[in-house]
A and B are shown apart, each in its own frame.
Chain A
Amino acid sequence: MKSLQEISLDGVWHNNPALVQLLGLCPLLAVTSSVVNALGLGLATLLVLVGSNCAVSLLRDYVPAAVRLPTFVIIIASFVTCAELLMQAFTYELYTILGIFIPLIVTNCSILGRADAFASKHPLLPSFVDGFMMGLGFLLVLLILGAMRELLGQGTLFDNMQLLFGAEAASWKWVLIEDYSFLFMILPPGAFFGMGILIALKNLVDAEIKRRQIPVQAPIADRRVRVTG
């Protein structure tokens, strides 16, 4: 059994749902045109992932293996509905901007994947940590991609944050380049480019870490002593 620390590191880095498993790409590529969109979708996904992992983990002994997938999907759909209603209540404008991609969290493979591969085999606490860390990993990738595309596409950062944090957040907008627009980065192809660059960077960092590790001396195997003959 993995320790909680290993589970956390897996979720955010080694087995990151977006960068390594490449799951949930549809919402990832579609809504990351700005930081606020990315944050909104990332938080909703995080909430659903934590909720579904906990629920699946608690019910894991009572769900027959033959019908586990439909059951998990129903559990996930309930949490997505909760997230959708919450967003309608508190961040209605953002909800209308994200549109179909909020209900589509149900079909995000990484959520069903975690439910089936992890939560249905582990107790509550590891499942909770796994859901939270996987969601956090997904959220971080969304945020970086959103910031990158907003910056390269329209030259700003944190535009329209009032949609998520109330009226005073409108002043958070940070204009780095005046009168600038590079439509390509806002449109879907820009998301593929950004994603490719992020994956390449991650591989680069991994290769660098591997190179820096002091090569561990292989322990000298015990010399077998011939006892016969």
Chain B
Amino acid sequence: MSLLAPSSPHAHRPLSTSHVMAQVSLATLPALGVLTWLFGWGSLINVMLAVTTAIFAEALILKLRKRPWRILMDNSALLTGLLLGLSITPLAPWWLPVLGAAVAVVVAKQVYGGLGQNPFNPAMVAYALLLVSFPLPMSLWPQPLSLQAEPWTFWEHLTHTFTGSLHAIDGYTGATLLDAFKHKGALTAEEFWLQTPVAQAVLNATTGVSLAYLLGGVYLLWRGIISWHTPVAVLASLLILAAFFYGADPSQYASPSMHLLVGAGIFSAFFIATDPVTSATSHKGKLVYGAGIGILVYVIRTWGNYPDAFAFAVLLMNFAVPFIDYYTRPRTYGHARAQRGIK
């Protein structure tokens, strides 16, 4: 066997948008599997509804804007629908993922001029809109299947999604763990864990989901799709703040491991905050951007009105991206120092 020795230049094919989006979509599949395994068929149904709507909405807008339909092949609508479907509750009625995906594609992306022009992360715009408009259905999460006596079959779940028989399943639903912990009232953290025996089972299930997202995130890092700066900055700043307050008063504040493994922490750090369009550009900028998200999440989780805050934190830092980019331009070769601002 002879080794090929091509002549220079040894350039390799640049990553195409459609390839990047497909890789990120692929990386979410372990978590989708774990969600379906631990919480039932809801997430799968959500993802199917959201992805279908997102692609149809994109096609419709491309037609209205008289843009070539090949833009649809960049897989960005697919990924937006996928991320939205994963982030909303498995018990959502059908119109939540459908409305969300339509808003994400039409309002948050195409109105601004399509992929690359949108200042805000489309999936998070849709999530924030749904959370603000429909707080009740959005905050209703199912208990893990291990706590349910008779888990629904796929068809039962599909019927629930489209006809809404919520009252029949009161025993299976509950607030999320972050929500319950936030409203533990006068209980100390120890008493909270003792008095809510289901909490441990929920913790185990959400930890499983988070680890599946971590697996996908590591895959993306390995393939060079995302850089380590944003996720590390998000998680490190969140952990440092959590450790500081937990160290000061462990009976009152949630532990760092809970902040890391419960809620949307790992999912958002690897899949949302790393969106190339809406995050900061330079490596230094990504560190600042990620740290800002981590700090905002801790502040809103601990002292704000909402139990989890990744959508709001990401959107607020999206606002700040032009400002961050302005001050974090890297030094270019041949210049003594970095330039400030846009030249």
Q: Which residues of A contact B (CB under 8 A)?
A: 182-184, 187, 193
Contact = CB atoms under 8 A, between A and B. Distances in A.
A182 B107 CA distance: 16
Contacts of B2: none
Interface string B174-203: 000000000000000000000000000000
Interface residues of B, number: 6
11 contacts: A182-B133, A182-B134, A183-B132, A183-B133, A183-B134, A183-B135, A184-B129, A184-B132, A184-B133, A187-B132, A193-B107
A23 B317 CA distance: 30
Interface of B: 107, 129, 132-135
A184 B134 CA distance: 9
Q: By CB atoms of chain A within 10 A, which of B129, B132, B133, B134 has the most?
A: B133
B109 to A, nearest CB: 15
Contacts of B107: 193
A183 B135 CA distance: 9
A99 to B, nearest CB: 23
B101 to A, nearest CB: 16
Contacts of B133: 182-184
B10 to A, nearest CB: 50
Contacts of A193: 107
Contacts of A182: 133-134
Main secondary structure of the interface of A (DSSP, over half): helix
A188 to B, nearest CB: 11
Contacts of A184: 129, 132-133
A214 B87 CA distance: 54
A187 B132 CA distance: 9
A183 B129 CA distance: 9
Contacts of A187: 132
Contacts of B132: 183-184, 187
Contacts of A183: 132-135
A219 to B, nearest CB: 36
A193 B125 CA distance: 14
A183 B132 CA distance: 7
Nearest 5 pairs of A and B residues by beta carbon: A184-B133, A183-B133, A182-B133, A184-B129, A184-B132
Q: By CB atoms of chain B within 10 A, which of A183, A184, A187, A193 has the most?
A: A184
Nearest to A186: B133
A183 B133 CA distance: 4
A150 to B, nearest CB: 15
Nearest to B134: A183
Nearest to B107: A193
Nearest to A183: B133
A50 B141 CA distance: 56
B269 to A, nearest CB: 27
A174 B123 CA distance: 35
A193 B129 CA distance: 12
B210 to A, nearest CB: 29
A12 B52 CA distance: 43
B46 to A, nearest CB: 20
A83 to B, nearest CB: 34
Nearest to B129: A184
